[in-house]
Amino acid sequence: MLIAIPLFDGMTTLDAVGPYEVLVRLPDTEVVFVGPEKRAYPQEFPGITLEATATLDEMTAPDIVVVPGGPPEAVGPAAQAGVLPAWLAKVHPQTTYTASVCTGSILLAAAGLIQGLDGTTHWAGKGILRQMGCNPIQQRVVDHGDSHRILMGAGISSGIDMALTLAARLKGDDIAQGIQLALEYDPQPPFDAGHPSKAPKAVYERVRVELKAVE
Amino acid sequence: MLIAIPLFDGMTTLDAVGPYEVLVRLPDTEVVFVGPEKRAYPQEFPGITLEATATLDEMTAPDIVVVPGGPPEAVGPAAQAGVLPAWLAKVHPQTTYTASVCTGSILLAAAGLIQGLDGTTHWAGKGILRQMGCNPIQQRVVDHGDSHRILMGAGISSGIDMALTLAARLKGDDIAQGIQLALEYDPQPPFDAGHPSKAPKAVYERVRVELKAVE
C-alpha cells in the first residue's frame, strides 16, 4: 500500500508528521513525501524542513493521499490554483482514501472533491471551507469512506486521530489499537483549551486574531 | 530563549516534532535542531529525515533542551556512550529545563542527570530506565522543575503534553492554552488503547513483543 503525503511551502509540520508516525507503522505500507519538486520544503515556522523524495508527477497512483494544511497564506489563492489541487483531482478517482488534516481540506475543496459534503478543518478556517462549498461541522474527524472515499481531520493535532481512524478502516481495529499503544497515545493535556468551545474566552479572543480566523 | 532539540540516527520523529510544534509558538523563542554534525538524520522509519542546522559543539548555552527518544537500538549502549549524553552533562548545569520525550530519558540517565529521581519514559522502556538508576512511575509527565530542572514525558505522543506543560512553566498558563487552541489539541482518539493498562490484552501482548519491551 502506497501512501503519499504532499508537501508545500509554509505548511504546518505536525499536520504531516502526526499522520506519518501513525501510518508508517501499518503493515505492508510505504509512506512517501511528495511535492511539485524533489526538494526540502520550508515549513510554517523556522528551523525545520520536510523533504519530498518523489514528485507529484512521479506519484501517479497512490492508494492513500493525506493532505496537510497550513496557515492562510500557505493554502490561499495561489496554492488553490497551483499544481497540488490539480494533482489531487487527477489521482483521487483511483485512491482508496483521500484525506486531509487541518486546512488541507481547503486544497481538497480547490480540487473539487468535497463540494456539497459535510467536512471539517481547523476551527479558524471553517469560514473559508464554507465559502468553497463544503459544509464544516463540529466534528474532529469526518469520514465519508463508504461514499466518497474522503476523510477529514480538524486542526493540526487532529491528524493523529484522523490517521488512527484511517488505520482502522484500512487494516482493522486491532492494528490501529496497536499503533495507538506503540505511540503511547493516551493524551493528557495539562489544560482543556484545545477548542474554541473550551478555551478561556480571553485566550480564544487573542488566538483568533493571531490566526486571522475566518469562522 | 533558545531551545535545542538534539537529533540522532534512528530516533522517533514525533518525539521531536510534537514538542517542536508547541515550543516554536512561544513568544521570543528560537527552536534549533542540533546534532553531532550538521546533516540530515535518518529516522526510525523510512521516508523522512530531520536536519540539524547547528552542531552540538556550536550550541554551548541552550536555555531549554528537549531530548527525543527512539527504539532500543537508537538509544542503546553505543548512543549512551556517545557524544550526546556527554553534551547533555555539559550544558545541563546552565539550562532552565532539560527535558526528555519517550526513551530520550535513557540518554538523560546516560548523562547522569536523573539518578535517584522518579521519572517516566515509553512504557516499553521502563525496565531500562530502572536499570540505569531512575525510578519510572506511572505518570505521563514528570516535572522536577523546582528542584532539578528536569521534565520528562512518557512515550512518543506524550511530547505534546510535556511541551504544553513546559510552555506553561516558561511563559504562563494563558500562553500554553493559546498554543493548545492553535494546535486544536482537543484529542479524541477513536480507541482508548494508548497505554498497557487500557489496551486489549491481545493487542498489548503483540505490541510488547514487537517493541522488545523491557518493563
Residues of A in contact with B180 (CB under 8 A): 189, 191, 193-194, 199
Residue B144: per-residue pLDDT = 97
CB contact under 8 A, A176 and B164: no
Q: What are the two backbone dihedrals, phi and then psi, of residue A64, each rounded to the nearest 5 degrees? A: -130, 140
Judge contact between B56 and B87, C-beta under 8 A.
yes
Cα–Cα distance, A122 to A140 (Å, whole number): 9
Cβ A128 vs Cβ A214: under 8 Å: yes
Catalytic residue among B22, B91, B102, B162: B102
**So what's the pLDDT on residue A54?**
98
pLDDT tens digits for range A26-57 = 999 999 999 999 999 999 999 999 999 999 99
pLDDT tens for chain B, residues 1 to 215: 999 999 999 999 999 999 999 999 999 999 999 999 999 999 999 999 999 999 999 999 999 999 999 999 999 999 999 999 999 999 999 999 999 999 999 999 999 999 999 999 999 999 999 999 999 999 999 999 889 999 999 999 999 999 999 999 999 999 999 999 999 999 999 999 999 999 999 999 999 999 999 99
Cα separation, B110 vs A91, in Å, equals 48
DSSP A164-210: HHHHHHHH-HHHHHHHHHHTT-----SSS-SSTTTS-HHHHHHHHHH
pTM: 0.98
User: Is B134 tagged catalytic?
Assistant: no
pLDDT of residue B193: 98
Rounded to the nearest 5°, which phi and psi values hold at B209? -70, -45
Which residue of B50, B102, B183 is in closest CB contact with A157? B183
End-to-end CA distance of chain A: 36
pLDDT (tens place) for every residue of chain A, 215 residues total: 999 999 999 999 999 999 999 999 999 999 999 999 999 999 999 999 999 999 999 999 999 999 999 999 999 999 999 999 999 999 999 999 999 999 999 999 999 999 999 999 999 999 999 999 999 999 999 999 889 999 999 999 999 999 999 999 999 999 999 999 999 999 999 999 999 999 999 999 999 999 999 99
pLDDT at A146: 85
A·B CB contacts under 8 A: 225
pLDDT at position A199: 98
Residue tagged 489544560 (cell numbers): A191
The whole-number pLDDT of residue B146 equals 85
Contacts of B16 (CB under 8 A, 6+ apart): B5, B7, B33, B50, B66, B68, B101, B159
ipTM above 0.95, yes or no: yes
Residue of B nearest to A189 (CA): B161
Q: What is the 3-state secondary structure (H, E, C) of chain B?
A: CEEEEECCCCECHHHHHHHHHHHCCCCCCEEEEEECCCCEEEECCCCCEEECCEECCCCCCCCEEEECCCCHHHHCHHHHCCHHHHHHHHHHHHCCEEEECCCHHHHHHHCCCCCCCEECCCHHHHHHHHHCCCEECCCCEEEECCCCCEEEECCCCHHHHHHHHHHHHHHCHHHHHHHHHHCCCCCCCCCCCCCCCCCCHHHHHHHHHHCCCCC
How far does the CA of residue A46 sit from the closest CA of chain B (Å)?
8
Flag whether residue A140 sits within 8 Å of chain B, measured between CB atoms: yes
Taking CA atoms, what residue in B is nearest to A17?
Answer: B14
- The neighbour count for residue A71, using CB atoms within 10 Å, is 20
The minimum CA-CA distance between B157 and chain A, rounded to whole Å, is: 5
Positions of E strands within A1-149: 2-6, 30-35, 40-42, 49-51, 54-55, 64-67, 97-100, 118-119, 135-136, 141-144
C-alpha distance from B204 to closest chain A C-alpha (Å): 7
| Best of B25, B174, B177, B179 to mutate (most A CBs within 10 Å, chain A) | B177
**Residue ranges of B 42-101 with Cβ closer than 8 A to chain A:** 45-51, 53
